[in-house]
Copies of this chain bind each other. A is one copy, B any other.
Amino acid sequence: MDVVEFTPSFEQYAFTFGGVAPVMRIKPGIALRLWSDDAFCGALRSVTDLSSEKVDLRHVNPQTGPFHVEGAEPGDTLALHFVSMEPARDWGASAAIPFFGGMTSTDRTVTLQPPLPDTTWIYHLDSVARTVAFEARFSDHRIELPLEPMLGTVGVAPAGREVRSSLVPDRFGGNMDTPQMRAGTTCFLGVNVEGALFSIGDGHYRQGEGEACGTAVEGAMTTTLIVELLKGGAPAWPRLEDDTHWMTVGSSRPLEDSWRIGQAELIAWFVELYGLHAMDAYQLLSQISETPIANVVDANYSVVVKARKALLPPVTAYEGLHADLRRRAATLL
């Protein structure tokens, strides 16, 4: 299986979903190996690089893409299977950006208080131990944490002629910031425009659920993925599948609405997968759902709603595509 590699120049970075010409036309079934810059466009390289001084807010969360998938039409389903994600630098950065994050007032949850201290943390990567090192800034603590690469941002062009910032997740995916978006996961997105125009970015070397301070261990990433297209069947909101779980992602405000969206989408999926009545799917999921918060910081907040396959009768979604993609992925590793 061939793999097409692509590394964007800075001029090719996309900062929106929609509104950008594709960097490449690809056929379904292709594998891509994509380099993506970190959310700061690499501007934070030491603890003395402050986000208020170094980060150009017009240039955050750069996307690699968009890719035009041949044959993709509105109403179709785009499947992106993540084969691998490997850090492309030996350090990652995190920052408490003034008035950005979950434990500060923001430009939406406004208060008159001063911002938290603008602080940058640099995480050095140990590629042998596969760890990143937290080093406290206000004392001498150092803690090695396992590397767990993921992509914060995966999405397609929105519906309704909209163009949306790469900072905001919504129906089209985007900046959902869930640790579930990792190697081994297949992401299903509804296609809104001809060619789907998907892009990826915002690599995280690891991230806690909620992305509390607004930034993960942000790092340039090399992502290998396989692109597939299913005609029709577009889900209303992003769906994820891995070997162990069925998952959906809702993104809105307040957070209970994100949860409602994810729960409704998983109920709808269970009606399809198991032939359950919606009331029975609602009941069953009430007893088995896992509901990690993904982010509480990206203007729209995201919740993942999950169901463990091992608890359920065996079924396949999308004609067994995920298992098939896992097999194909194995040939690439």
Among B165, B210, B257, B274, the residue within 8 A (CB) of A259 is B210
Q: B110, A264: Cβ atoms under 8 Å?
A: yes
Q: A111, B121: Cβ atoms under 8 Å?
A: no
Among B111, B138, B139, the residue within 8 A (CB) of A103 is B111
Of A24-32, A112-120, A183-191, which binds chain B?
A112-120
Number of copies: 4
- Contact pattern, A 150-191, Cβ under 8 Å of B = 1, otherwise 0: 000000000011111100000000000000000000000000
Q: B18, A207: Cβ atoms under 8 Å?
A: no
Among B261, B278, B284, B290, the residue within 8 A (CB) of A112 is B278
Known: A105-B111, A105-B113, A313-B143. A208 touches B296 (CB 8 A): no
Asked whether any CB of chain B lies closer than 8 Å to the CB of A275, the reply is yes
Q: A283, B134: Cβ atoms under 8 Å?
A: yes
CB-defined contacts of A313 to chain B, threshold 8 Å: 143
Closest to A60 in B: B160
Closest to A163 in B: B163
Q: B277, A136: Cβ atoms under 8 Å?
A: yes
CB-defined contacts of A312 to chain B, threshold 8 Å: 143
Inter-chain CA distance A38–B195, complex, in Å, is: 33
Range of interface residues on A (Cβ < 8 Å): 35 or more
Of A1-9, A63-71, A76-84, A213-221, which binds chain B?
A213-221
Within 8 A of B (CB), among A286-333: 286-293, 296, 301, 303, 305, 311-313
CB-defined contacts of A16 to chain B, threshold 8 Å: 160-162
Asked whether any CB of chain B lies closer than 8 Å to the CB of A253, the reply is yes
Among B108, B141, B208, B303, the residue within 8 A (CB) of A276 is B141
A326 to chain B, nearest CB (A): 25
Q: B210, A276: Cβ atoms under 8 Å?
A: no
Chain A interface (Cβ < 8 Å from any Cβ of B): 15-16, 18-19, 58, 94, 96, 102-105, 108-117, 119, 121, 134, 136-139, 141, 143, 145-146, 160-165, 206-217, 252-257, 259-261, 263-264, 267, 274-280, 282-293, 296, 301, 303, 305, 311-313
Q: List 29 A-B contacts (CB under 8 A).
A: A94-B286, A103-B264, A109-B109, A111-B111, A111-B116, A112-B267, A114-B114, A137-B277, A137-B280, A137-B283, A138-B276, A139-B277, A143-B312, A145-B288, A162-B162, A162-B163, A162-B165, A163-B163, A208-B285, A211-B286, A214-B286, A215-B286, A217-B287, A252-B253, A253-B253, A253-B256, A254-B256, A255-B255, A256-B301
